[in-house]
Structures are given as C-alpha cells and as structure tokens.
Amino acid sequence: MASTAEKVTVTASPEDLNPDEPRRDVFIDQHQISRYAGVDASNSFKIVTEFVPGSYMVHDQLHVRGGHQVTWAIDGVPIPNTNIASNVGPQFNPKDVSYLQAETGSYAAEYGDRIYGVFNVAPKNGFERDKQAELIASYGSYNGTDDWLSFGDHTEKFAYYASISGNSTEWGLEPPTTENLHNQAMGGGGFTSLLYNPTTRDQLRFDAGVHLDYFEVPNDPEMQVAGVNDRQREQDIAVVGTWVRTINPNLLFVLSPFYHFNRGVYDGGIGSASFAADNRGSNYEGGQATVSWINKRNNVRAGVYAFAQQDNSFFSLVSTERVQPTGNLEALFVEDQFKAASWLTLSGGLRFTHFSGQITENSPDPRIGTAIQIPRLHWVLRAAYSYYYQAPPLDTASGSLIGNSGCDGCAFLPLYGERDIQEEYGIAIPIRGWTFNETYFHTSARNLFDHDVLANSNIFLPLTIQGAVISGLETTLRSPLLLHHYHAHLVYSNQKAEGVGGVTGGLTNFLPPPDGLFYLDHDQRNTLSAGVEGDLPWRSFGSLAINYGSGFLNGNGPSHLPSYYTLDLSLGKNFGESFTVRFVGTNITSQRYLLDTSNTFGGTHYADPRMLAVQVRYRFHY
C-alpha cells in the first residue's frame, strides 16, 4: 500500500516496482496521454486500452479482464454506477487527466462494487499553472473535430482549474458493415477542480464534471433504405467534495461527499423495426469517510462508503412501462499492511457490503495478500486471494413488456449481485532500468453480469448467468529513457473468458443451459499493445504504436474471428514555447476487419478505418 497521502490524492510519483503492494499498478501520465495517437481524444478509451493488459474495446464497450463493470474514481473516491452496458461514451475527457492509476485485481478493501478494473483519475489542477490557458483544436477524417479550452491559476493557498470541450464526427460508433451509414456523433462537456489549503493541516477539494453525448446508431444498407433512425443520448454529471485533515504526521482523516447523475436514452426512430425507447436516469447521493494510520510496521486504513440511488426509467416496445425504483448501498472496510520484515509485507482486509433494492443482500468479503522482495536481486513476488461483491442494477423491464419481447414463455427474474473469487500471482523484475511484470489471475464468478437485446431493438437489458471462469497471463514491460530521448512499453494478455449455466436473473426463456463451459461473446485469446515515443530533431516529437488481437468469438462459437492488427502514428513539432502542431493517425494502414458479431448497437461490428487529424495546441497567459 502506498503512503496515506498517496492513497488519498493520487499525486505521488508513479512507481512500476512497488515492493509493498500485492498488486500491479499501471500509471499513465499526461506525457503519454498527449504523445500517443488517439489517447487524448474526447470519446476514446485508448487511455486504458493502450497501456493496461487485458483491456480492449468490442461492440462499443470497454472490457477489462473479461468483464464490463469497472470503477472510475476521482482522487481516490469511487463514483457509484450500478448500470450495465447502457452507456457507450466515456466519463472523463483524457485532456483533463494529470495521470491515471489503473488497477485490475488484488484490490484493497476500499474498492469493491465494480471489480474488473479500478481507474483512479488524478485531475489537472491550478497549482500546475500560473494564469495559463491552453487551447486545443483539431480537424480530421469524416469531418471530425475535437476542441478543448482550459484555464488555471493559483495563489499560495488556493488554486482553480476549469475546462470546456466539444467534439463531432460523421463516424461515431462501430458500424455493422464496411459502409458508414447513419453514424454521426457529437458531444461536449466541462470540468473544474478547486483546491484550498486554509491551514497546514487542512485541504479542501472540489471536483465537478459534466459530459453530454449524442450518437446515431449505425445502419446497414437495408436499414438505411427503410429509414431506420435509432439514436442514443447520454448525460453524466459527477460532483465530489473532499476535506483532508492531517491530525498528526501518522494519522489522517478524509471525508468525501459526492453526487452522480447518469442518463442513457435510446430512441427507436421512424422506420425502425420496433418503435422502441429506453430512457433511464439514475441519481446517486452519498459519501466516503476514511481514517488512515501509519507507523514503522503498520499501514492501517478503515472507512465507510455509502450511497442512495433513485432510478427513473421509461420503456416502450409497442406497450409502455415506467418504473421508479430506489435502493441503497453501505460498505464498511478495514485493512492493514504489515511490514513483517524489510523484504516481506503482509496485507489483509475485510469489506462488508449491505445492498437494498429489488432484493436485499449482505456480503462479507475478506482479502489477503503478500509481497516479497528478494534481497540483492530486488525482484518482487506478489500473491493475493480476494472475495468481491458487485451490487445489481436497480431496474430492468418487466410485466407488460414480456408479451412484446418476442420471447415465448419468458419472464423477468430478479437480478442478484455478482460474487467473485479472484486469486492472483505475479513477479516484477527490474533489468537495467527496464521493469518486467508477469501476472497470472483466475476469477470465478457467480451470477455473472451480462446483457441481452430486447426483441428487434437496440435496447439492452441487464441479466445474470449462473457463473463464469476467467483466467489469464498478463505481461507488462516498461523501458527507462533510451538513447536520451525515447520511452517504450509493451502490454500483452493471454486470456480465456468462459461462462457456465443458464440465465439466473433478467429476461429468460427457462431453456436448459448449454452443457459445460461456453465462451463469452467478448472472449479473445491474445491481446497486445506496444509503442515507443520520444523527442526528435528540430523540436519535434513522435510516437508509434501497434495493436494486435487474435480475434473475438464468432457468433456463438466455439470458433473465433481472424486475427487483426493496427498501427497508430503521431508526429508533432513545437514552435516556440506556446504553439504546437501535431499530426495524428490511427489505423494508418486502414485495416478493415470484422470485429465481432455481437447484438449490441446494430449487431455485427466492423473496426474503424484509417483516421487522420491535425491538432493545433496553443498555450497563453491571461
């Protein structure tokens, strides 16, 4: 576990080799975000997929370690969200991120409700600026624009940072054919970060962001002729306030109230096969309070995390239905990291969660781990064994919609929480400034969360299946500064994601489940991303990245689609201290390949073609 200050503010220097942690962290800083092609794009998840092993985009959804549900946090405070596969846009603009701390397993007890990935955002702040503004404007393929303006300043005790952004394109989501039909997208947002240090022992922080997105759901030629006009609209608002009180050098108290609003609206327009609509809004109010205590051998952390949730959902599929469920979640956690010897650290924790909604559940989840640093070699061996509970969504369609779902003999079963057991083993090896990490994980899930289509529409309802077994071997490699100018990285995952049993919650036809294990629709055996970036002559810079996948499941399997690769390139030049021009190209060889045959947002999906853009960056004082 990092020091108390690091855990709270996420502002300590990132380390690839931590001798005290039973987990592997991946840090992505602003330098990498601004250098690699497409990583800083407003509607991109490349900030994750470029650097985190086992992560990929398929059917317009981010997947990590074989699952959908991930936690996004601001300065260590998790933002609650119990919905599944109802949003395709990102929650944060990468341009507002100072750096991102990514964890994919062996979590401390403070995290618990969405466990396939925890992404902790350290936002930019005014202490990094002195009455400085920054403007980024870009234009590229398919009339794509991605513009962003930010301001920041500070005094001795107070700092502010604020930004606004907007983007548009004629190629938004992954289309069902190689033709680009009915695929416009646009969005915008704003973010602010305020910090105030009234005394040497107190800090007050306020972070708030809003993100709006609009997507046309792509058509195939037949749908285009029929005039199908399906659309997806999304809104997200997150507000977090934090009071940090340093009681003494060894004792810290942190209180963080928060509010989160998330909306996903699907409209089946004129000409659609079914006049379907799904309008869901979710409100979350809650907070987190933690106490941290450190001495020479112990690093103890305890706290409470709680929120209340209210949903307002409107479904329409020939008939209509409105539901307004409410629920709440409370979690207590305690953990200790004990330094048994200079080379041995033992970790243990317990998280107890109470959830109340359509059903009521309680889950005590113990977690243990160890980190061993081999003397002289400085290799670090890691191991962890953890239990997790993921609360279910509050609502799904029911009642009158069953008769119009196209499913004879079907019913909606209550959704219960997903329960996971994960074991993880790893080794970190420093080699002449390089850091090599190898990690094996095995996750057993009960009531695995997934989603399925409602009749012939693009409405996707959450469901659970009896279980899943997900395992994999992950590799990360990071270089030191090479030839005084360059940095390189590689992430690789060999993974298998399999389900077992039938539907246990959500819409089901009660048919017997398949015998034995079956591949999940987002199963891909091998995933690799590697890149190099650095400074070039004449005040220029560049990056080159390659991404490879062995192919996702073909239909219901067991065969998989062919393998694929893409190349991304970025070249830029600084003109003085204020002006930068950058050329950005993703999939520069324009590899067109079938990505998957899932039924999410239009069915079959083809990968994006070559995308080229010119980005202009201007920094000025005011």
Q: How many structural domains compose the chain?
A: 1
Band (pLDDT 50/70/90 cuts) for residue 580 is: very high
| 135 pLDDT higher than 90 | yes
Residue 470 to residue 472: CA distance in whole angstroms: 7
Per-residue pLDDT tens over the stretch 501-532: 988 888 777 777 777 888 988 899 999 999 99
| 6 pLDDT higher than 60 | no
| 207 pLDDT higher than 70 | yes
Q: Of the segments 106-115, 245-254, 321-330, 495-504, which one has the largest average pLDDT value?
A: 245-254
Element (H, E) at 273: none
Q: Which residue has the higher pLDDT, 154 or 325?
A: 154
CA 270 to chain centre: 33
Q: What is the pLDDT of residue 16?
A: 61
| 588 pLDDT higher than 90 | yes
| 454 pLDDT higher than 70 | no
Report the DSSP pairing between strands 526-536 and 517-519: unpaired
| 279 pLDDT higher than 50 | yes
Q: What are phi and psi of 35, to 5 degrees?
A: -95, -45
Q: Which residue has the higher pLDDT, 36 or 558?
A: 36
Q: Contact, 535 vs 521, CB < 8 A?
A: no
Q: What is the pLDDT of residue 463?
A: 84
Q: What is the pLDDT of residue 69?
A: 87
Q: What is the pLDDT of residue 412?
A: 78
Band (pLDDT 50/70/90 cuts) for residue 88 is: confident
**Of all residues in the chain, what percent carry a pLDDT higher than 90?**
68
| 97 pLDDT higher than 60 | yes
Per-residue pLDDT tens over the stretch 462-483: 888 999 999 999 999 999 999 9
Residue 174 to residue 421: CA distance in whole angstroms: 33
Q: Contact, 18 vs 29, CB < 8 A?
A: no
**Of all residues in the chain, what percent carry a pLDDT higher than 70?**
91
CATH of the domain at 354: 2.40.170.20
Q: Which residue has the higher pLDDT, 169 or 505?
A: 169
SS3 for 58-100 is ECCEEEECCECCCEEEECCEECCCCCCCCCCCCCCCHHHEEEE
Residue 6 to residue 99: CA distance in whole angstroms: 13
Band (pLDDT 50/70/90 cuts) for residue 604 is: confident
The single residue listed with the structure tokens 């509050």 is 394
Closest CA to 35 of 613, 450, 531: 531
> Average pLDDT, stretch 134-145?
97
> Average pLDDT, stretch 536-554?
95
Q: What is the pLDDT of residue 398?
A: 56
Phi-psi region of 578 (alpha: psi -120 to 50; beta: other; left: phi over 0): alpha
> Average pLDDT, stretch 59-83?
90
| 141 pLDDT higher than 80 | yes
Band (pLDDT 50/70/90 cuts) for residue 589 is: very high
Question: What mean pLDDT value characterizes the chain?
Answer: 89
| 424 pLDDT higher than 50 | yes
Q: What is the pLDDT of residue 462?
A: 81
| 24 pLDDT higher than 50 | yes
Helix, strand, coil share of the chain (percent; to 5): 5, 60, 35
What DSSP designation does 200 have?
Answer: T
Q: Is the pTM of this model over 0.75?
A: yes
> Average pLDDT, stretch 425-438?
94
Q: Of the segments 20-24, 406-410, 542-546, which one has the largest average pLDDT value?
A: 542-546
Q: What is the pLDDT of residue 82?
A: 86
User: Based on C-alpha coordinates, what's the Rg of the chain?
Assistant: 24
Q: Which residues of 444-468 are buried (b: 16+ CB within 10 A; e: fewer)?
A: bbbbbbbbbbbbebbbbbbbbbbbb
Q: Residue 465: which domain range?
A: 4-621
Q: One-letter amino acid identity for 329?
A: L
How many residues in total does the chain contain?
A: 622
User: 378: which 2 tokens?
Assistant: 């400085």
Band (pLDDT 50/70/90 cuts) for residue 600 is: low
Closest CA to 593 of 580, 609, 578: 609
User: 294: which 2 tokens?
Assistant: 């450190």
| 288 pLDDT higher than 80 | yes
Q: What is the pLDDT of residue 1?
A: 36
| 291 pLDDT higher than 80 | yes
